[in-house]
A and B are shown apart, each in its own frame.
Chain A
Amino acid sequence: MAECHPVGFQWVMEAKRRGATIIHVDPRFTRTSAVADIHVPIRAGSDIVFLGAIIRYIIEERRWFHDYVVHYTNAATIVTEEFQDTEDLDGLFSGWNPEKHKYAAEFWQYQDAHVTPAAGHREQESAETRAAHVTRIGAIQTDPTLEHPRCVFQILKRHFARYTPEMVEETCGIPRELFLKVAQTLCDNSGRERTSAFCYSVGWTQHSVGVQYIRTAAIIQQLLGNMGRPGGGIMALRGHASIQGSTDIPTLYDLLPGYLPMPRAAGSGTFQKYVEQNRSASAWWSEFPKYIVSLLKAYFGDHATRENDWCYDDLPRLTGDHSHMTTYAAMADGSVKGYFVMGENPVVGSVNGGFQRAAMRKLDWLVVRDFQMTETAEFWKTARNDASNWAITEKIGSEQINTEVFFFPAAAHTEKDGSFTNTQRLLQWHHKAIEPLGDCRSELHFIYHLGRRLKELYGSSEDPKDRPVRQLTWDYPVRGAIQEPEAEAVLREINGFSVADGKPVEDYTKLRDDGSTACGCWIYAGCYRNGVNQTARRKPAPEQNWVAPEWGWAWPQNRRLLYNRASADPEGRPWSERKRYVWWDEEKRSWTGYDQPDFIKDRPPSYRPPEDAQGIETISGIDPFLMNADGKSWIFVPTGLRDGPLPTHYEPIESLVKNPFYGQQSNPARMEWHRRENPYHRPWNDPAFPYLLTTYRLTEHHTAGGMSRWLSWLAELQPEMFCEVSPELAAEKGLTHGGWATITTARATIETRVLITARIKPLRIRGRLIHQIGLPYHWGSLGLVRGDSTNELIAFSGDPNVSIQETKALTGNIEPGRRIVRAGERPYA
């Protein structure tokens, strides 16, 4: 975190000054380890063993927060008899279809009650509409004693029974005593009086089991009562500025703003059907129609009426997976004709760069918007002597590439108004300091004027396919010589307004499904409350309470801590004075506290839904996790995940080790691309690739380098691509400090400088010494400082839930010396 989020890390250091214990788990000893109290070196790719063993420790040592677990999680819920665990099926759960390489989700459901997920893959349920399910939440069976053999708690206990400290030592390379110290420290710092937080970043996500890594931490936090309470939680440290914002108002292909699913070509044909699939019968997602209708009103204005289903048919439909790697594979096959790349440099930042460059040669046109002519903008330059990807042997000159590249220089954040939404869902407004130079323009300018021109182009078309463009509301005011659209006007639309008088809505509870409100993103409703840009507030800390509600604005409803009903006990009293945050005020018959309570304000803790309750009436007074259909947080996920209801240790797709727990080696539902340009190593112990590679970022550079490699002040701080190796590995391979090394996978070979350091230690795994090689990934063929790109080495592969590539654990080889320079290629100085 100190390496990649130094600004956010100030709060960790502040906590440390006040006595907090910092535990850092990382294959390498990094800048974070340097200031941590405990550093735990781990074999990359084995985190579920480590975290699963903490779960087992909590259960074995009876350290779970009993009242919290019983009342606020689904630990007591009884699961269907059809469920079978990985312990029963040697690494698979029930429901596995070996032909389709998919799970059928109904095998993990609750007994007698089917629920739909708050997030994740709702389409797993889309075979039938929700009304067909038994969705009465009262049908859910529980055993508060946690003794029933099919209750979640007992299933959990069995599932992790073999995740012992000894297995941690053997599988992760972490000494037993060190593991026990971590587990004990964590438990001692949790409970009524204390809370602990987890922070993670792509070191957890970029694995073929990435989502389940975070799920394992979530289970720990639920058992210890660390969710919805001050000082607790799991912080997703995002990849860069406003990545959280770009998930909320998504640049993701399968989501509409506010986590509303994108309609699918198959299954969600009519508006009626789409709503049925996505509206939960119980809890908060029962409000779904209000959010989608308000969104469609924002998109299509007066054109959207009840009669035409609010222009639902103007929305595009998904025909399948259109994630990054799938799209590039389709591009290589010639079925993608044009492509926009904005503020991204996939040729360096994404995996198997050589394959991606080859795919881009098939494009008719490519638009790149960036600060610099990045390697992606100039991908055609390297075509003749492309140094990477062994399989791509065609050597063609730029004159043979027909892709027309349009480069648009981008304005920096200092040259435009706008907002950042960061990791804690906080929106902070920034004001333009100077006009953008030359032809540089903001994304808002580009998108707005592109849309405006398209509307002009199709304005008189009568072709039905052009109707969405004609009906789209696109009326933002513009300012100044460069005709910059007003960013605040966009924020006003995102906030939402009453259609009749244009007044901003107060919050999402004011949205309606009758067309009387419009809202660009329901969770952001309230960010422009009372016509005031709430995200621009900068009231100093000493002038407000410690939660600081008047600094910026947090979604939803300016709530700083989600699910904070859980900070009070079932009766609505704070768990302890020390951890007082939100509580029930019996006199005023209302929830109150330092933060905006995350609950229905006047619903008393004693409320229990009547038998025939519908919608949000189903949320009982002890249901803090009101986005989930049963109001409880999910230790066991009955639906929504593609690779199982509980996290299970699978080895990375390319590993040095055979899975010590199950016959199933790696995630059965993982995504792979089997093609010539994307070969894989043997699943384990490939003799040609005997070392474990892991990739990461350095503080001095920004991701694929577009913002740092062209800037002398940053470039000089880490001027050359290097690898980090232990003195033991250096001795074994004859590597010299400051010299060159060549690193090879089945995909490609790169060369790097060598940094020999004791900060990387070989680990003893099942009696064998395993060497890890650290690889920062910032460099490319252009810029002030140049070098080979680490990501050339890595295969297309994916976590089945979010299609993220596995970059944090793979195998490879290292040899001393430089790589062979191919004909016509100029080596880096």
Chain B
Amino acid sequence: MPKGFFTDTTVCIGCKACEVACKQWNQLPEDGLHFSGMSYDNSIELGASTWRHVAFIERPVALSGQNAGDLSWLMLSDVCKHCRRAGCLEACPTGAIIRTEFDTVYVQPDICNGCGYCVVGCPFGVIDRLQSDGRAWKCTMCYDRQKDGMEPACAKACPTDSILFGEVSDLREKAAGRLAQLHERGVKEAYLYGADKHSQPGTEGLNAFFLLVDKPEIYNLPREPEAPSIRAKQSWLSLAVASAGMLAAAIGAVMSSRGRGAR
């Protein structure tokens, strides 16, 4: 059964317990001790040694139903989306990136040769290479913990259940219920991001999907993410047309020069 995360940003309190639990469980190094000035976000983005990242967005706009002046502070714990159609997996030439029995996308570090094709293959900019060993790293959805029947460290540590882990079908049901509740309470702007293939054809839906209250770009998420291979057919076709054109032009050029020569 596919496993995944449902991250409900409306109950995230930005405590970063997920970031710390992730780094501790996976023994990831720190990546920079610098003040970013980006609100309370000093990890800045997901990367080879940051597999959970909490984004902080200060908006000069009130949140529906909130009485707090013309201001709101959105928080989102970002993570690898474990796409149903994963750009990184499709791009991997060595077979290092596989789809596991939990339907998650996993990089086998002993096979990865650090070619980096996956890095450009990911429509979210999630996967990255570690400077020190050159290999590609990202969230494993705690494959090792799941093997022992435990939930991933981030979901376990989340105090407000902003991060829910479980079977994707269950999570979708819960997400729909939460969405209906929020709409009923007047938070009309709430919607699900990447919950299914229908709403996000480019990835065929995400196993780690989100509940958001503003445009995806506000959270630094792409509006219409696409696995690059989706455009492969089109690309090949264009390539074929282009090749044919070039061939025709080449032949034409040769022919015409011959013609000139004959003259």
A binds B: yes
Q: Which of A3-11, A139-147, A305-313, A807-815 contacts B (4 or more CB under 8 A)?
A: A3-11
A36 interface neighbour in B10, B23, B68, B161, Cβ under 8 Å: B68
Residue pair B14, A34 in contact (C-beta under 8 Å): yes
Residue pair A784, B33 in contact (C-beta under 8 Å): yes
- Chain B residues with Cβ below 8 Å from A715 are 30, 33
Residue pair B35, A39 in contact (C-beta under 8 Å): no
Complex Cα distance, B66 from A699, in Å, reads 23
Residue of B10, B14, B181 with highest tally of chain A CB at under 10 A: B14
Task: Given the known inter-chain contacts A36-B68, A716-B30, A722-B35, please indicate yes or no for A31 contacting B42, CB distance below 8 A.
Answer: no
- Chain A residues with Cβ below 8 Å from B74 are 34
Query: Smallest distance from the beta carbon of A169 to chain B beta carbons, Å?
Result: 15
Residue pair A738, B29 in contact (C-beta under 8 Å): no
Q: Does B143 contact A (CB under 8 A)?
A: no
Residue pair B17, A737 in contact (C-beta under 8 Å): no
Query: Smallest distance from the beta carbon of A728 to chain B beta carbons, Å?
Result: 14
* Range for the number of chain A residues in contact with chain B: 35 or more
Within B23-60, the residues touching A (CB, 8 Å) are 23-24, 29-37, 39-40, 42-43, 58, 60
Residue pair B20, A714 in contact (C-beta under 8 Å): yes
Q: Does A373 contact B (CB under 8 A)?
A: no
Complex Cα distance, B20 from A9, in Å, reads 18
A31 interface neighbour in B14, B17, B36, Cβ under 8 Å: B14
Interface size on B, residues (CB 8 A): 40
Task: Given the known inter-chain contacts A10-B159, A717-B43, A761-B69, please indicate yes or no for A738 contacting B14, CB distance below 8 A.
Answer: no
Query: Smallest distance from the beta carbon of B212 to chain A beta carbons, Å?
Result: 15
B30 interface neighbour in A29, A713, A738, Cβ under 8 Å: A713
- Chain B residues with Cβ below 8 Å from A35 are 10-11, 13
B143-174 vs A, Cβ < 8 Å mask (1 yes, 0 no): 00000000000000001110000000000000
Q: Does B72 contact A (CB under 8 A)?
A: yes
- Chain A residues with Cβ below 8 Å from B11 are 13, 16-17, 35
Q: Does B128 contact A (CB under 8 A)?
A: no
Complex Cα distance, B64 from A37, in Å, reads 10
Residue pair A6, B15 in contact (C-beta under 8 Å): yes
A744-766 vs B, Cβ < 8 Å mask (1 yes, 0 no): 00000000010101110100000
- Chain A residues with Cβ below 8 Å from B24 are 713
A711-728 vs B, Cβ < 8 Å mask (1 yes, 0 no): 011111111101000000
Task: Given the known inter-chain contacts A716-B30, A719-B42, please indicate yes or no for A6 contacting B17, CB distance below 8 A.
Answer: yes
- Chain A residues with Cβ below 8 Å from B68 are 29, 33, 36, 38-39
Complex Cα distance, B20 from A10, in Å, reads 18
Residue pair A34, B73 in contact (C-beta under 8 Å): yes
Q: Does A539 contact B (CB under 8 A)?
A: no
- Chain B residues with Cβ below 8 Å from A37 are 65-67
Residue pair A738, B37 in contact (C-beta under 8 Å): yes
Residue pair A700, B30 in contact (C-beta under 8 Å): no
Chain A residue nearest to B17 (CB atoms) is A6
B42 interface neighbour in A38, A41, A718, A759, Cβ under 8 Å: A718
Task: Given the known inter-chain contacts A717-B16, A717-B43, please indicate yes or no for A39 contacting B160, CB distance below 8 A.
Answer: no
Query: Smallest distance from the beta carbon of B244 to chain A beta carbons, Å?
Result: 54
Q: Does B226 contact A (CB under 8 A)?
A: no
Interface of B, helix, strand, loop or mixed by DSSP: loop
Residue pair B67, A6 in contact (C-beta under 8 Å): no
- Chain B residues with Cβ below 8 Å from A39 are 66-69
Complex Cα distance, B252 from A696, in Å, reads 77
- Chain A residues with Cβ below 8 Å from B37 are 737-738, 753, 755
Q: Does A336 contact B (CB under 8 A)?
A: no
Q: Does A785 contact B (CB under 8 A)?
A: yes
Residue pair B43, A716 in contact (C-beta under 8 Å): yes
Task: Given the known inter-chain contacts A713-B30, A716-B30, A719-B35, please indicate yes or no for A6 contacting B159, CB distance below 8 A.
Answer: yes
Residue pair A31, B15 in contact (C-beta under 8 Å): yes
Q: Does A2 contact B (CB under 8 A)?
A: yes
Query: Smallest distance from the beta carbon of A648 to chain B beta carbons, Å?
Result: 30
Task: Given the known inter-chain contacts A712-B30, A720-B35, please indicate yes or no for A2 contacting B15, CB distance below 8 A.
Answer: yes
B89-113 vs A, Cβ < 8 Å mask (1 yes, 0 no): 0000000000000000000000000
- Chain A residues with Cβ below 8 Å from B36 are 738
Q: Does A181 contact B (CB under 8 A)?
A: yes
- Chain A residues with Cβ below 8 Å from B29 are 712
Q: Does B71 contact A (CB under 8 A)?
A: yes
Complex Cα distance, B62 from A38, in Å, reads 11
Complex Cα distance, B32 from A733, in Å, reads 30
Residue pair A699, B35 in contact (C-beta under 8 Å): no
Residue pair B67, A713 in contact (C-beta under 8 Å): no
Complex Cα distance, B73 from A567, in Å, reads 38
Query: Smallest distance from the beta carbon of A289 to chain B beta carbons, Å?
Result: 44
- Chain A residues with Cβ below 8 Å from B139 are none
Task: Given the known inter-chain contacts A38-B67, A759-B73, please indicate yes or no for A717 contacting B19, CB distance below 8 A.
Answer: yes
- Chain A residues with Cβ below 8 Å from B67 are 37-39, 178, 181
- Chain A residues with Cβ below 8 Å from B127 are none
Complex Cα distance, B73 from A758, in Å, reads 10
Task: Give chain A's interface residues, CB within 8 Å of chain B.
Answer: 2, 6-7, 9-10, 13, 16-17, 29, 31-39, 41, 178, 181, 698-700, 712-720, 722, 737-738, 753, 755, 757-759, 761, 784-785
Closest 8 A-B residue pairs measured CB to CB?
A712-B30, A39-B68, A738-B37, A6-B15, A720-B35, A34-B73, A2-B13, A719-B33
- CB<8 Å pairs between A and B, sample of 18: A2-B14, A6-B13, A29-B68, A29-B69, A29-B71, A29-B73, A34-B73, A34-B75, A38-B68, A39-B69, A41-B69, A698-B40, A712-B30, A713-B20, A715-B33, A716-B31, A717-B43, A720-B33
Starting from the known contacts A2-B15, A720-B33, 4 additional A-B residue pairs (CB-CB under 8 Å) come to: A13-B11, A13-B160, A34-B74, A719-B32
